[in-house]
Amino acid sequence: MNGNGSTRREFLTLVGTSTAVLVVAGCTTNQTAAPPVPSGGVFAQPAESHSVDGRLAVTLVAEATMVPLGTGTRYAYTYNGSTPGPTLRVRPGDTVVVTLQNRLDTDTNLHTHGLHVSPTGGSDDVFVMVRPGGEHTYTYDIPADHPSGLFWYHPHAHGHVAEQIAAGLAGAIVISDDLDDITEITASTERLFILADPSIGDSKAILATSQMGRMQGREGDIVVVNGIVQPTVAVVAGTLERWRILNSSASRYYRLALDNHQLHVIASDGGRLTAPVTVSEILLAPGERTEVLVTPIAAGSNRLRALRYDRGSSGMGGGMGGRASTSTAETVIATVNVTGTAAAAALPPSLAKLSPISPTITATRTVTLAMGGGGGMGGGSMMAFTIDGKSFVPGRTDITARLGTTEQWSIRNTSVMDHPFHLHVWPFQIIDGPPTSGWKDTVNVPARSTVTIRVTFTDLPGRTVYHCHILDHEDLGMMGIIDVTP
């Protein structure tokens, strides 16, 4: 699956960096000589921890571990010995206490992506660092009116985020509420698909990434679902399948389609929809989630595929023409084996009431994502990754917003690559961009285009970040700080 070599070279030529870097770039994907890739494991889900009487307390130990890969093993970073880490299952109103122990040799910490919880006071504070050998206890109070859905946890130690997530540090948080009590949903089979694309090898050498790999956003050697290569999912015709899907990759996009079946979307990121929306494919950028119902009908083997997607763009560099970067080849993610011949199960006619976002806008902003010419970052030919012309500085506040207001942001991408824009703590709705009526926390902003969102700062004041969820871009500075003040 090392098909990136030629596209990396093209990108390199187009950005006009030296051929000396080309050699380095060419080495990274090939150096960790990929062992033969096993496929066709049986679908399995991560271990789970449930809250009891409104409380869940867990310890997550981050460390390097050899994890199973087919009949062999591969090097990874794990929580409690596995990647993905345990799924945390909770309900609105619960208190979740996580003690993070750092047994890595670099700083790490924890972020609860998509949770509407406080960014301060020992809660989802990404400015806390946990040193090697250290530990920290986070306490998250999940509001009683928190939406249900799929969220996730992962490290957020600036400069190490792409490496640590790509190495395997990620896990799911599932919040359940009365949506789960709808008759059709209760009768469905719920499955979690955590998509990742690790580099494979038997040592820490797999973490090494060239400047070019970081500028493009690193992609690994294989695609796994819950750590398993091309698992087989056994389903029965006439039943309803409910799949929660997370893109936990550092950079890779997944354009998902299932042979012979439509996908009925019931939630986007943290936002349930009012009724199922039927589509034939779904694009999931890094950090995004979707929840779909599937009605198995076509007996036999159906591939769940990631179709080809190009997150770069053609024509970069004026008249140079050609493709600039990062197109992923079509990949089989899983095989869905349908038995039986019953007709499709019925879908729930409606799901939930979606509270509309306030129509009163107190401020409008333009947030500009850009990739600048070389020389700006880290010397050499590394280009600058900026938001509003600035690379991330921990002490600086870039946006100040007032608690209780609603703002409209036009997120403008002036570069030749897509950037998935993510805001912590306060969910938003898309006014102009990828069509979805649900609440979002991450949205893809395609190359040379603008997406408009509306975000409401109802509660939970504090200081946190917004950034590109191609995590190498975040580590390279495409991140800013927002302070929401009473």
- Chain residues in the site for ligand C2O (CB under 6 A): 111, 113, 154, 156, 287, 422, 424, 465, 467, 469
Partner whose binding site includes residue 468, from Cu ion, ligand C2O, none (CB under 5 to 8 Å by kind): Cu ion
Q: Are 335 and 301 in contact (CB under 8 A)?
A: yes
Partner whose binding site includes residue 463, from Cu ion, ligand C2O, none (CB under 5 to 8 Å by kind): none
Partner whose binding site includes residue 419, from Cu ion, ligand C2O, none (CB under 5 to 8 Å by kind): Cu ion
Strand partners, 387: 369, 390
| Residues making up the chain, counted from first to last | 486
CB of 480 to ligand C2O, least distance (A): 11
CB of 470 to Cu ion, least distance (A): 4
Q: Mask 105-144, x = binds Cu ion (CB under 5 A)?
A: --------x-------------------------------
Task: Select 142 or 465, whichever has its Cβ closest to ligand C2O.
Answer: 465
In Å, how far from its chain's centre is CA 188? 25
Distance between CA atoms of residues 30 and 369, nearest Å: 31
Task: Select 217 or 231, whichever has its Cβ closest to Cu ion.
Answer: 217
Task: Select 225 or 423, whichever has its Cβ closest to ligand C2O.
Answer: 423
Burial code of 316-328, b = ≥16 C-beta within 10 A, e = fewer?
beeeeeebbbbbb
Task: Select 304 or 465, whichever has its Cβ closest to ligand C2O.
Answer: 465
Partner whose binding site includes residue 156, from ligand C2O, Cu ion, none (CB under 5 to 8 Å by kind): ligand C2O
Which range binds Cu ion by CB under 5 A, 76-84, 197-205, 372-380, 422-430? Answer: 422-430
Asked if 424 interacts with Cu ion (CB under 5 A), we say yes
Partner whose binding site includes residue 252, from ligand C2O, Cu ion, none (CB under 5 to 8 Å by kind): none
Tokens coding 413: 């991408």
Asked if 470 interacts with Cu ion (CB under 5 A), we say yes
Q: Are 175 and 142 in contact (CB under 8 A)?
A: yes
Distance between CA atoms of residues 254 and 163, nearest Å: 19
Partner whose binding site includes residue 242, from Cu ion, ligand C2O, none (CB under 5 to 8 Å by kind): none
Three-state secondary-structure class, residue 306: strand
Q: How many CB atoms lie within 10 A of CB 28?
A: 22
CB of 33 to Cu ion, least distance (A): 29
Three-state secondary-structure class, residue 353: coil
Q: Which of 90, 455, 468, 479 binds Cu ion (CB under 5 A)?
A: 468
CB of 161 to ligand C2O, least distance (A): 8
Task: Select 41 or 420, whichever has its Cβ closest to ligand C2O.
Answer: 420
Strand partners, 136: 100
CB of 122 to ligand C2O, least distance (A): 18
Running DSSP on this structure, what letter comes out for residue 261? B
CA distance readout (Å), 324 to 315, 330, 374, 450: 7, 18, 16, 20
Running DSSP on this structure, what letter comes out for residue 40? -
Burial code of 241-262, b = ≥16 C-beta within 10 A, e = fewer?
bbbbbbbbbbbbbbbbbbeebb
Contact footprint for Cu ion (CB under 5 A):
113, 419, 424, 468, 470, 473
